[in-house]
Structure 1
């Protein structure tokens, strides 16, 4: 079943999290909603989203 597990990478500080998460020039994070759906929130400086 896709999404049945995650792979974690532990680091020593929140600064290191930022360094790992922004290696491609963007920024991302994940959360699971109350219905169990996994969402990815992403900011990519190369992509403009029109309002």
Structure 2
């Protein structure tokens, strides 16, 4: 898969990446939930679905 311009910038510029990550951490109403995407796609999907169910009380 090709990287987007934004993905390449986040990879190349660590200060920019830190600022973006901090911006997401500070978000409220609704808050962002950080998810580790390093495991397999299946594990990441399971984690995200659990978070959605928990947040939406499903």
Give me the TM-score of the superposition, normalised by structure 1: 0.31
Determine which structure has the larger helix proportion and give its number. 2
Q: Which has the higher contact order (CA 8 A, sep 6+)?
A: 1
**TM-score, normalised to structure 2's length?**
0.30
- Larger strand fraction of residues: 1
